[in-house]
Amino acid sequence: MPKRHVVQMSTSHASYGVCVLGTEVFLDMRRSTPKGATSFDVHATSAVTVHIIHSPMTKPMINSRWPLDPDIEVVVTIDVTSRTVNDNKVKISYYGQEGNELSVAWLYLTCVDVSLDVDLNRNGRVKSKGKDKAKWTWGPDGQGAVLLVNCDRDSPGAVGMDSSQVDIRTTADLQDMSVMLLRTQGPSAIFAEYQVVLHVPESDADKVRVFHAIRDDSHHYYKPVLGPNKLSYVLDHVSGGENTFYVEGLAFPDVGFSGLVSFSASLLQVTHQNSPGTPIFTDTVVFRVAPWIMTPNTQQPVEVFVCSIRRGSDPNEVFLEGLRALLRKANCKLTICSEVDSRSDRWIQ
């Protein structure tokens, strides 16, 4: 269960906070209640929605004020990202027994958006704001992204599998990886004060590797940011937009590994330079590593799948003709996958 985001209200000074689009902010009024107060009301600017949580026995008063009962909670949500810092306001007024206003507490909120997204529907598109991103279910109607173990060898002359390399040496290697997008939106001044951190559980770190696609003035490069011995990554110069990450699997599911791996993006409030930071919000996604399926080499083949590579310097037409002749003799069905289906990768995964 995610930790509640609580903001302490005060009647002696204004309070300031940051929230994430669509998430709940609980307002702690207990310490700010002035002596003699018996009721309160809440007003907010147009982008803020105020929710009063109470027991069935507690009812609002005739003048739309609420009694200061212990069971009442005030929760606010914002569904529009801020254009400027502190552009959302919440005002809590406290009233005495005679209905006179005793004191006022102000809260200024800045709303940002932080979303970690993957191919949740398994259709080749990474959509934002998916539901239940931390769950993975099987079947054609299920959801959750799939991750491949990068066990081919796309780099000419490379020794070992691509997953053994800690860098990306050819763009063909990206075709074996899954895309993960980190989307942020809001005033840039907020992201200068708050950290956005991408992290992976220690139990999953040796099963995956993550590369951050970074563009500078001259070229693209892919920085390894998570994986074995790398549990977290603080993003620099975060502003509105997308950060693209490529994820590769390093281990197949087995008796000690279910195949499920998770990644999270957290917005942290850092009060001091050397402090660890307080999480304001965390978004989590889950991948399942595709299993290794090995058929016995003594079993009669029923259907053979192969890629068709026509473009580039190394087409495979001669290989396909030889394979057709062999499978005709074996009375076996041949299915040729187009370059669109195989994403121009001769290794079917």
Q: Considering all CA atoms of the chain, what is the largest pairwise distance in Å, rounded to the nearest integer?
A: 98
User: How far apart (Å, rounded) are the C-alpha atoms in residues 226 and 206?
Assistant: 9
| Mean pLDDT (whole number) for 158-164 | 65
User: How far apart (Å, rounded) are the C-alpha atoms in residues 212 and 235?
Assistant: 10
The β-bridge relationship of strands 241-249 and 260-269 is unpaired
Determine the pLDDT at residue 158. 64
**Rg (the chain; Cα; Å):** 27
Determine the pLDDT at residue 324. 93
**How much is the pTM?**
0.82
* Second CATH level (architecture) for the domain 118-289: Sandwich (2.60)
User: How far apart (Å, rounded) are the C-alpha atoms in residues 306 and 141?
Assistant: 27
Delimit the CATH 2.60.40.1700 region(s) of the chain: 118-289
Determine the pLDDT at residue 31. 83
Closest CA to 233 of 210, 253, 217: 210
pLDDT tens across 5-64, in order?
A: 999 999 999 999 999 999 999 999 888 899 999 999 999 999 999 999 988 877 778 788
**Structural contact between residues 93 and 44, judged by C-beta atoms closer than 8 angstroms:** no
- List the CATH code of the domain at 5-112: 2.60.40.1860
Segments in the chain forming alpha helices (H): 188-193, 317-330, 339-342
pLDDT class for 286, splitting at 50, 70, 90? very high
Delimit the CATH 2.60.40.1860 region(s) of the chain: 5-112
Determine the pLDDT at residue 130. 79
pLDDT class for 91, splitting at 50, 70, 90? very high
Half-sphere exposure of residue 6, counting CA atoms within 13 Å on the CB side? Answer: 9
- Average pLDDT over the chain, rounded to whole? 88
